[in-house]
Structure 1
Amino acid sequence: MSINRFTLQLDEIKAAYAAEPNPTVAVRLERIGRIEKMLAANEEKICKVLAADFGTRHSIESRLLEFQMVYQACKHVRKHLKEWMKPQLVSTPAFLGSSHAWTQMQSMGVVGIMSPWNYPVQLALVPAIAAFAAGNRVWLKPSERSSRTSGFLATLIQEYFHPIEFCVTVGGTEVAESFAALPFDHLFFTGSSNIGKRVMRAAADHLTPITLELGGKSPAIVDPSAKMNDAAASIIYGKLVNGGQTCIAPDYAIVHSSVSETFIQELQNAAQEQFANPEEFTGAIDEHQLARWHQLVKDAVNRGAKAIPLLSPAGNLGLAFMPVALLNVSEDALVMQEEVFGPILPIATINDLDSIIRYINEGPKPLALYWFGKEKKVMQRILNETRSGGVTINDTLLHAAIEDLPFGGIGGSGMGAYHGRAGFDAFSHRKSVLEVRGFLGLKFLGGTKLARPPYRKGVERLLRWLK
């Protein structure tokens, strides 16, 4: 599809938006309801195409981490949309007398969404729900790496929506580049930092507002005061669910040397307890991803790291990649320089809090941070002295499941946020409005009249009064 065809298609969607720039609450909720019905009617089929893309992916994992997030977003919007859409009164200074000021939320137009392959349903539909809630039209470009799911999702959306409401375009790198270069009213991208930079450059040509949901190296900090088995079980779940292919998965762990051996043993116990069944361990999205995991481990071991299997080989011989922890990892190893995005957990031993905080702050700002422990003063220092997109304390992943918590990164892990009200705000323009009225009902004292030239003593008196 050529860029000219893309442009014509965008013009058609923009024309449809211009004919209905302020859809009612009922229209917005009806569109969101169609997404919900579409998903509910096709859960089993979508689970099958997801499993086909990943090689192995349990239906419960898909229902829990993909579908439930979509249903939750729909439910939250239904409950709060009327309130979000209400104009908000603001106070006016005394010199404006009885003038009236407020902000009102206004839709932007056509929102472009570029969704990734790791959660190809959730990360396509949850931003679309937020965009519809704000009154926009949506054009989706799903990832080509999850080609079966992307293609099936495109077919479903075409069945439930007119393309001038919710349009989908599938394709590879060339299509994605053309898509990112279109003059959307807002562009929403979820993916890697490297691709995010390219998307941002393309959007800059049209000064398109952009939201970037990226990733990064999210630490899991295990304080000596933590209960080791609970911390290990939470970290293993966050690291191994979806085969580690989660943007907020714990990328590496930081532990005190005095508890490192206990922690590793508890990691192995937790991994065996949770993921002993190979049918419940999600596979790599493709051969390129699998090769990358093997390369990360090989590179780390060649630089002196010790690889410790997290699962017993018995019963797991069919796994294409055995989940592993890495000890004594060199700082220049690839696994410490890149986001892991797989079932590999580097473990760093750092014994004092100042060094932990410095270690985190010297790297790119992470999308998520996890802290385990009971010492509230230590927890507060971590919260106050580190920067990350979000935090879960004494567990992993869960902050992203709270609709009232904005989800997004900071610095290299992204810009902008969504989920709940934050998503509605991200795809809306907060318009400021002032209705000028006379002072005490006297029109000649209203607005800018007293400040207009020629500048005489009256303006001097006004300046003294305004101080």
Structure 2
Amino acid sequence: MSINRFTLQLDEIKAAYAAEPNPTVAVRLERIGRIEKMLAANEEKICKVLAADFGTRHSIESRLLEFQMVYQACKHVRKHLKEWMKPQLVSTPAFLGSSHAWTQMQSMGVVGIMSPWNYPVQLALVPAIAAFAAGNRVWLKPSERSSRTSGFLATLIQEYFHPIEFCVTVGGTEVAESFAALPFDHLFFTGSSNIGKRVMRAAADHLTPITLELGGKSPAIVDPSAKMNDAAASIIYGKLVNGGQTCIAPDYAIVHSSVSETFIQELQNAAQEQFANPEEFTGAIDENQLARWHQLAKDAVNRGAKAIPLLSPSGNLGLAFMPVALLNVSEDALVMKEEVFGPILPIVTINDLDSIIRYINEGPKPLALYWFGKEKKVMQRILNETRSGGVTINDTLLHAAIEDLPFGGIGGSGMGAYHGRAGFDAFSHRKSVLEVRGFLGLKFLGGTKLARPPYRKGVERLLRWLK
């Protein structure tokens, strides 16, 4: 599709928005309700195309991590939208007398969404729900790497929505580049930092406001006060669910050397307990992803790391890649420089809190951070002295499931946030309004009248009073 065709299509959607720039609560909720109905009516079919894209993906994993997040977002918006849309009064200074000031939320226009392949349903529809809640129209470009799911989702959306409400365009890199260069009223991108930079450059030509949901190397810190089996079980789930292809998966673990052997044993026990069935272990999205996992593990071992299988070979011979923990990993290894995004867990041993904080802060700011332990003072230091998009304490992933918690990164892990009210705000313009009235009912004392030229003693008195 040429850029001219894209531009014409965007003009059509913008024209439709201009005819209805302030949709009612009922209209917004009806659109969101259609997403909910679309998903509910096609769960089984979507599970099948997701499994086809990943090679293996259990339907429960898809229902829990994809569909439930969408249903939760719909329910939350339905409960709170009226309140979010209300104007918010703000106080005014005394010199403005009885003037009134407030902010009111207004829709932006047409929101472009570029969704990724790792959770191709949730990460396409949850931002769309937020955009509809804010009163916008939506144009979605799903990832070509999850081609079956993206194509089927596009078919469903076309069945349930008119393209001037919710438009979908599928395609590869060339289509994505043209899409990112369009003059949207807001562009929302979820994906890697490298692609995020390219999207941001493209959006800059039109000064398009942008939200970037990226990733990074999210640490899991295991304090010696932690219960090792619980910490290991949580880290294994966060690392191996969806085959490790989760933007907030624990990227590496930091442990005290005195508990490292116990921790590794507990990791193996937890992995065997949770993921021994190959049918419940999600596969790599494609051959390129699989080859990258092998490259990361091989590079680390070649540089002196010790690879420890997390699953017993018996019963898992069909796995294309065996999940591993890596010990004694060189800081020059690729696995320590890049986001892993797979079933590989480097383990870093650091024995004092100051060094842990310094180690984390010397790297790019992560999208998530996990801390396990019982020492509240240590926990507070980690929270206060590190920077990350979000934190879960004594578990993994769950902060992203709380609708009232904004979800987003910081620095290299992203900019902007969504989920719940944060999503509504991200796709809204908060307009500031001041209605000027007279001072003490006297119109000649209202607003800027006392400050206007010619500047005489009255203005001097006003300045003294304002001080």
TM-score by length of structure 1 reads 1.00
SS in 2 for 1:101: strand
Q: Distance in 1 between matches of 2:352 and 2:427?
A: 43
1:275, CA displacement in angstroms? Answer: 0.2
**RMSD of aligned residue pairs (Cα, Å):** 0.2
1:137, CA displacement in angstroms? Answer: 0.1
Equivalences for residues 409-420 of structure 1 within 5 A:
409-420=409-420
Q: Distance in 2 between matches of 1:279 and 1:74?
A: 30
Q: Distance in 1 between matches of 2:432 and 2:256?
A: 52
Report Cα offsets for 1:38-65 as digits up to 9, x if no partner.
0000000000000000000000000000
1:161, CA displacement in angstroms? Answer: 0.1
1:133 has 2:170 as partner: no
SS in 1 for 2:23: coil
Q: Distance in 2 between matches of 1:324 and 1:285?
A: 18
Report Cα offsets for 1:122-167 as digits up to 9, x if no partner.
0000000000000000000000000000000000000000000000
Report Cα offsets for 1:142-197 as digits up to 9, x if no partner.
00000000000000000000000000000000000000000000000000000000
Report Cα offsets for 1:322-365 as digits up to 9, x if no partner.
00000000000000000000000000000000000000000000
Report Cα offsets for 1:183-218 as digits up to 9, x if no partner.
000000000000000000000000000000000000
Equivalences for residues 441-452 of structure 1 within 5 A:
441-452=441-452
SS in 2 for 1:311: coil
Report Cα offsets for 1:80-138 as digits up to 9, x if no partner.
00000000000000000000000000000000000000000000000000000000000
SS in 2 for 1:361: helix
Q: Distance in 2 between matches of 1:254 and 1:465?
A: 59
Q: Give the structure 2 partner of residue 364 of structure 1.
A: 364
Report Cα offsets for 1:308-332 as digits up to 9, x if no partner.
0000000000000000000000000
SS in 2 for 1:366: coil
Q: Give the structure 2 partner of residue 39 of structure 1.
A: 39
1:440, CA displacement in angstroms? Answer: 1.3
- In structure 1, runs of 5+ residues without a counterpart are none
Q: Give the structure 1 partner of residue 26 of structure 2.
A: 26
1:401, CA displacement in angstroms? Answer: 0.1
SS in 1 for 2:263: helix
Q: Distance in 2 between matches of 1:452 and 1:320?
A: 77
1:6, CA displacement in angstroms? Answer: 0.1
1:407, CA displacement in angstroms? Answer: 0.1
Report Cα offsets for 1:285-327 as digits up to 9, x if no partner.
0000000000000000000000000000000000000000000
SS in 2 for 1:183: coil
Q: Distance in 1 between matches of 2:65 and 2:245?
A: 12
Q: Distance in 1 between matches of 2:143 and 2:425?
A: 25
Q: Give the structure 2 partner of residue 308 of structure 1.
A: 308
SS in 2 for 1:330: coil
Q: Distance in 2 between matches of 1:445 and 1:383?
A: 51
SS in 1 for 2:433: strand
Q: Distance in 2 between matches of 1:54 and 1:73?
A: 25
1:458, CA displacement in angstroms? Answer: 0.4
Q: Distance in 2 between matches of 1:398 and 1:98?
A: 47
1:74, CA displacement in angstroms? Answer: 0.1
SS in 1 for 2:32: helix
1:466, CA displacement in angstroms? Answer: 0.4
1:180 has 2:180 as partner: yes
Q: Distance in 2 between matches of 1:448 and 1:299?
A: 69
SS in 2 for 1:388: coil
1:233, CA displacement in angstroms? Answer: 0.1
SS in 2 for 1:113: strand
Q: Distance in 1 between matches of 2:400 and 2:447?
A: 46
Q: Distance in 2 between matches of 1:297 and 1:321?
A: 10
1:253, CA displacement in angstroms? Answer: 0.1
SS in 2 for 1:10: helix
Q: Distance in 1 between matches of 2:216 and 2:439?
A: 55
1:260, CA displacement in angstroms? Answer: 0.1
Q: Distance in 1 between matches of 2:142 and 2:48?
A: 18
SS in 1 for 2:92: coil
TM-score by length of structure 2 reads 1.00
Q: Distance in 2 between matches of 1:414 and 1:152?
A: 29
SS in 2 for 1:396: coil
SS in 1 for 2:434: strand
SS in 2 for 1:57: coil
**Number of matched pairs:** 467
Aligned sequence identity (%): 99
Equivalences for residues 89-108 of structure 1 within 5 A:
89-108=89-108
Q: Distance in 2 between matches of 1:2 and 1:103?
A: 40
SS in 2 for 1:346: strand
1:441, CA displacement in angstroms? Answer: 1.1
1:113 has 2:137 as partner: no
1:385, CA displacement in angstroms? Answer: 0.1
Q: Distance in 1 between matches of 2:270 and 2:460?
A: 75
Q: Distance in 1 between matches of 2:81 and 2:419?
A: 13
- In structure 2, runs of 5+ residues without a counterpart are none
Q: Distance in 1 between matches of 2:332 and 2:429?
A: 44
SS in 2 for 1:36: helix
